[in-house]
Chains A and B, each alone.
Chain A
Amino acid sequence: MKQLITFIKKEFHHILRDTRSMLVLIGLPIVQLLIFGFAITTEVRNANIAILDNSKDETTQGIITKIESSQYFDIDRSITSNEQIEKAFKSGKIKLAIVFQPNFQNELSHSNKAQLQIIADATDPNQATTLTNYLSSIVRDYQNEINRQNKLPYTINTEMRMLYNPQLKGAYTSVPGVMGMILLLISAMMTSIAIVREKELGTMEILLVSPMQPWLVVISKVIPYFIISLINVATILILSVFVLGLPIEGSLFLLIASTIIYIFCALSLGILISTITETQQAAMLISLLGLMLPVVMLSGYAFPIANMPTLLQILSNLVPAKWYIIIVKNVMIKGIGIDQIWKELLILLAMTGTFLLISVKRFKIRL
């Protein structure tokens, strides 16, 4: 026990004396969370659009007023012809254009049909989809208003409700994602580097010759990073509740308990990496390429897993962050209890066990 405490003290000396790493450890999560929570968002506001009104009647004016009064669009009034629209798209001045057919109102009242064309700049498909959706729903709204006056016998109104995230805030996906990424990065990368550093400096040899048990060396490396990860979890949760306005719908205890399991998983992955690498650089590269990329690409945080090719969907099951993000989303945002997430928790535990088992095997081979 005394050996362990002496050794943990030493680890904290290492961490605290290395100001740069310290900044990364504590500062990175805050910066990431704020960047992903505020700056990177799928919400669209004040998009520049052009309207080519070939009819200029009461109905088209009504629709235009409605579009104007929404906060999503800014209408560029200088554009008055098809050629100008094309130019404006090419120069990137506008994201979307609306073209009303001539005699819009007449057509509508006589044949009950009128054409309205929406042209979107699909170089950014996500944004184009969002904008056309916004616009369609504005036009649908207007249509419902006139229909009410005309009393048509059959109309189907679709009413959409966005559950759990009514304002479609980006932070709802980014907070679980950042948690999954940061915890994995800090726990796995920093522990693997800390262990490999001893190998590289030759001090590991001294420790192996000493009466200190190898597993004690590893545990005392892991504990400081476990504590730092817990501090990070606290800052991330406090920031997301008080700064980003996210709710914690479910049980805070369950959220923290599953986070601790995830941290264990990441730590054991770090130990595994340390058993297969000999230099700090190699450990860092493996952690960054082997962990960061899959977490960003395959965890369902940046890109929906359901849209991926089957092979990638299968591969994504191997990424611990995927399961953790599901847990966080369910507990934090939907307020679901343990009865719905036990499967994910079990998967994380199984992964942790596997990583540890392989590490122990590899550690013995090395001795």
Chain B
Amino acid sequence: MNNEIVIKTDKLTKKFGDFIAANEITFEVFKGEIFGFLGANGAGKTTAMKMLIGISKPSSGNATIAGFNVYKETEKIKKSIGYMSQKFSLYEDLTINENIQLFGGIYGLSDSEIEKRRSELIAKLNLQNEADKLVGSLPLGWKQKLAFSIAIFHTPKIVFLDEPTGGVDPITRRQFWDMIYEASHHGITVFVTTHYMDEAEYCDRVSIMVDGVIKALYSPAELKKQFNANSMDEVFLVLARDAKRGE
């Protein structure tokens, strides 16, 4: 990990009427870091993330993503990031190859580049026999791994993962995290929201959001020490106990 800052927010706030979904969020994320973004349902994680990826305009505050301003340079931001949403995000009625070609094309890669990366990816995921099958026919775990691979297909600077491992079995989750580590080794910053506290342990640093505010931001080890807890689960429970929002 180095000290180059790729995400920097300064009192980033989003209001919906009187409701403050994200309240003066300030943090920094470094290049190649795996940054866990934790919080209960309704804590404001998704809202904060939407501001960072440029599909929601902040009410106030400031942020730069990959060196670009969230107000003025959203188009440049979009080219530098990858995104995987909590809803499954590939086209089920297209084949694996077609999905890869589509997203490669959307991100403006040349045909030869798409072809080169496509064959590498298919070989890496061991999908040679399935490459021309519809994505809808694949098991969920494979789909998730494929969706992640496609989200980083254009080698973005940062990849945003919104609860990427929901509904996936523990083995696949472990494999999924191996892929995240690999991406991080290649210098891609990983910004991930999750509900699973064991996954929080895998992150370099985690922030915990409660009621629209970031309550804590340290490495998992420091957090456990500070809250005198054995696991991230306990840390989270202590912090989220006083939450007023949530379902």
Contact = CB atoms under 8 A, between A and B. Distances in A.
Interface stretch (A7-15, A188-196, A228-236, A271-279): A7-15
Given A13-B94, A14-B93, A3 B105 contact: yes
Given A3-B105, A6-B105, A209 B91 contact: no
A212 B106 CA distance: 6
Which secondary structure dominates where chain A touches chain B? helix
A3 B89 contact: no
30 contacts: A2-B105, A2-B108, A6-B101, A6-B102, A6-B106, A7-B102, A7-B105, A7-B106, A9-B102, A10-B98, A13-B93, A13-B98, A14-B91, A14-B94, A18-B93, A202-B85, A202-B87, A203-B89, A203-B90, A203-B91, A205-B55, A206-B85, A206-B89, A207-B106, A209-B81, A210-B103, A210-B106, A211-B75, A211-B107, A367-B57
A273 to B, nearest CB: 22
B181 interface: no
Given A3-B105, A13-B98, A209 B54 contact: yes
A5 B98 CA distance: 13
Contacts of B91: 10, 14, 203
Contact of B83 (A9, A17, A206): A206
Contacts of B43: none
Contact of A205 (B87, B90, B94, B107): B87
Interface of A: 2-3, 5-7, 9-10, 13-14, 17-18, 201-203, 205-212, 367
B55 A10 contact: no
Contact of B55 (A5, A6, A7, A367): A367
Interface string B76-117: 001101010111111111100010011101111000000000
B70 interface: no
Given A18-B93, A201-B88, A210-B106, 13 more contacts: A2-B105, A6-B101, A6-B102, A14-B93, A14-B94, A17-B134, A202-B86, A202-B88, A205-B55, A205-B83, A209-B83, A211-B107, A211-B108
Nearest to A14: B93
Interface in B158-211: 160
Contacts of B92: 201
A210 B81 CA distance: 8
B106 A201 contact: no
B87 A211 contact: no
Interface of B: 53-55, 57, 75, 78-79, 81, 83, 85-94, 98, 101-103, 105-108, 134, 160
Contacts of B89: 202-203, 205-206
A81 to B, nearest CB: 70
B83 to A, nearest CB: 4
A51 B161 CA distance: 85
Which secondary structure dominates where chain B touches chain A? loop
B29 to A, nearest CB: 17
Contact of A208 (B55, B57, B87, B90): B55
A11 to B, nearest CB: 10
A330 B108 CA distance: 48
B73 to A, nearest CB: 12
A59 to B, nearest CB: 75
A21 to B, nearest CB: 11
Given A206-B85, A209-B54, A17 B93 contact: yes
A348 B23 CA distance: 48
A13 B78 CA distance: 26
Q: Which of B53, B57, B86, B105 has the most CB of A within 10 A?
A: B105
A5 B104 CA distance: 13
B88 to A, nearest CB: 7
Contacts of A18: 93
Contacts of A17: 93, 134
B105 A210 contact: no
A237 to B, nearest CB: 32
Nearest to B111: A2
A13 B92 CA distance: 11
Nearest to B86: A202
A206 B160 CA distance: 11
Contacts of A13: 93-94, 98
Contacts of A10: 91, 94, 98, 102
Contacts of A7: 102, 105-106
Nearest to A202: B87
B141 to A, nearest CB: 18
Nearest to B53: A209
